[in-house]
Amino acid sequence: MTTFRARHLLGIEQLSPQEITTVLDLADRYVDLNRRTVKQSDALAGLTQINMFFENSTRTQASFELAGKRLGADVMNMSVASSSVKKGETLIDTAMTLNAMHPDLLVVRHGASGAVNLLAQKVDCAVLNAGDGRHEHPTQALLDALTIRRAKGRIQRLTVAICGDIAHSRVARSNLILLNKMENRIRLIAPPTLMPSGVGEFGCELFDDMRKGLEGADVVMMLRLQKERMDGGFIPSEREYYHRYGLDAEKLSFAKPDAIVMHPGPMNRGVEIDGEIADDINRSVIQEQVEMGVAVRMACMDLLARNLRAERGAKAAGVMA
C-alpha cells in the first residue's frame, strides 16, 4: 500500500491513477467485511474521528460515521450548521478549536468551494473532504468508480454520460476528473444554463440533446436537480426538465443494452429520473452505490490513518526535521 501518499483527501485532482486504484482495491476488501455478520476491524482503533458538517447531510454523514465505527475509531459528530458558526465564529477559529482537541481524522463538508483546503492548512490531523461548495466530493467519485468497476469489470475505456445540473455539482466535477484520469470517454449532458463555461476544455463531449448524449453509453450517471434551481431561473419548469432531461425507459434505450444507471441520491423521482428505472434491479446500481460508499470511506480513512501514523512515528523517531 505504499502507492497512497496523500496526507489529506481534499479532491480527486491531487490523486494519481495508482492512488485511485489503491483505494478501490482496499475498498473491495472492506465490501467483503461489511457483508459479514461481525463487521469489525481495528484499523482506526484509538483514533478520534470528528465529522464536521457545515451543511446538513444525513446520508453522507451517516456513511462516514458508520465507516469510522466499523474501523474502531471514536467518532464524534458536530453539526456546525446549527452552532457557533452562526454566532460569528470564523471557519478558522472553529478549526483551531477542534484542533486543540487532537482529532486524528477530520471529515468536513462546507458550502464554500475551497473551504476544506483552507481548513486543512490550519490543522494537524488528516482532513477528508466530504464536499466543498461546487468544487469536489472525492469519496462520492471514488464510490462511483468502485460501483462501476464491480459492475463492468473495469474503470477504463468506458463511455460515461453524466447528466443534469453539472454547473452546481461537485459530484460531477470529481467524477469528471476521476474518469478522465482513468482514461474514459466522458459526455456531459445538460441544458446550456446548467453547463459550466469552459468545461469543454477538460476533455469531454458536451450535449444538450439527451438522446444523442446517451448513444452507446456504458454508464449513465444522473445528478440531483436542486429544488431552488427549478423556479424558472435556470430551467423553465420541473415538467419541461423531466420531458427533456429526465431519464426514462425511452431515453435509456439509446444507451447500450447493458448500461448501468447511477444516482448520488437523494433522488427526485419524476424530475430527473423515472421511478421505475431507479428501482429496476437489472439497470439501477443506486443501492450498490450506497453500500460502496461505506466501504470506500473505510478505505480512505484507513489509508490516511496509516500515513498519519507513519508521519508521527517518523517525527517521534527524529527522522524528520
Partner 1 sequence: MTTHFENARLIDPEAGTDSLGSLTVDQGRIVALNGPAPKGATVTDCGGACLAPGIVDWGVKIGEPGERHRESFRSAGLAAAAGGVTTIIARPDTAPAIDTPETLEFVTRRAGEAPVRIRHMAALTKGRAGREMTEIGFLLDAGAIAFSDVFHVAENTKALSRAMTYARSLGALIVGHPQEPGLSAGAATTSGKFASLKGLPGVSPMAERIGLDRDLGLVEMTGARWHVDQITTTRSLASLARAKAMGLDVTAGISIHHLTLNEFDVGDYRTFFKFTPPLRSEEDRLAMVQAVADGVIDVIGSFHTPADEESKRLPFEEAASGAVGLQTLLPAALRLYHAGQLDLPTLFRALSFNPARRLGLPQGRLAEGAPADLVLFNPDTPFVLDRFALASKSKNTPFDGARMEGKVLATYVAGSLVHEAR
Q: How far is the CB of 260 from partner 1 (least distance, A)?
A: 27
Q: How far is the CB of 19 from partner 1 (least distance, A)?
A: 18
Which CB sits closer to partner 1, 138 or 246?
A: 138
Can you list the pairs that 36-39 forms with residues at least 24 positions away whose Cβ atoms lie under 8 Å? 39/70
Residue 306 labeled ligand binder: no
The radius of gyration computed from the CA coordinates of the chain, to the nearest angstrom, equals: 20
Residue 266 labeled ligand binder: yes
Phi (first) and psi of residue 109, to 5 degrees: -120, 135
Beta-carbon count within 10 A of 167 CB? 19
Residue 87 labeled ligand binder: yes
Residue 137 labeled ligand binder: yes
Which CB sits closer to partner 1, 135 or 263?
A: 135
Which CB sits closer to partner 1, 36 or 87?
A: 87
Q: How far is the CB of 108 from partner 1 (least distance, A)?
A: 12
Q: How far is the CB of 101 from partner 1 (least distance, A)?
A: 21
Residue 224 labeled ligand binder: yes
Q: How far is the CB of 161 from partner 1 (least distance, A)?
A: 18
Which CB sits closer to partner 1, 195 or 252?
A: 195
Which CB sits closer to partner 1, 70 or 137?
A: 137
102 burial type by CB count under 10 A (0-12 exposed, 13-18 middle, 19+ buried): exposed
Residue 170 labeled ligand binder: yes
Q: How far is the CB of 309 from partner 1 (least distance, A)?
A: 26
Residue 22 labeled ligand binder: no
Residue 109 labeled ligand binder: yes
Which CB sits closer to partner 1, 142 or 252?
A: 142
* Residue numbers at the binding site for partner 1 (CB under 8 A): 90-92, 110, 112-115, 117-118, 132-136, 170, 173, 196-199, 201-202
Task: Please give the annotated binding residues for carbamoyl phosphate, written as ranges.
Answer: 59-60, 109, 137, 140, 265-266
Task: Please give the annotated binding residues, written as ranges.
Answer: 59-60, 87, 109, 137, 140, 170, 224, 265-266
Task: Please give the annotated binding residues for L-aspartate, written as ranges.
Answer: 87, 170, 224
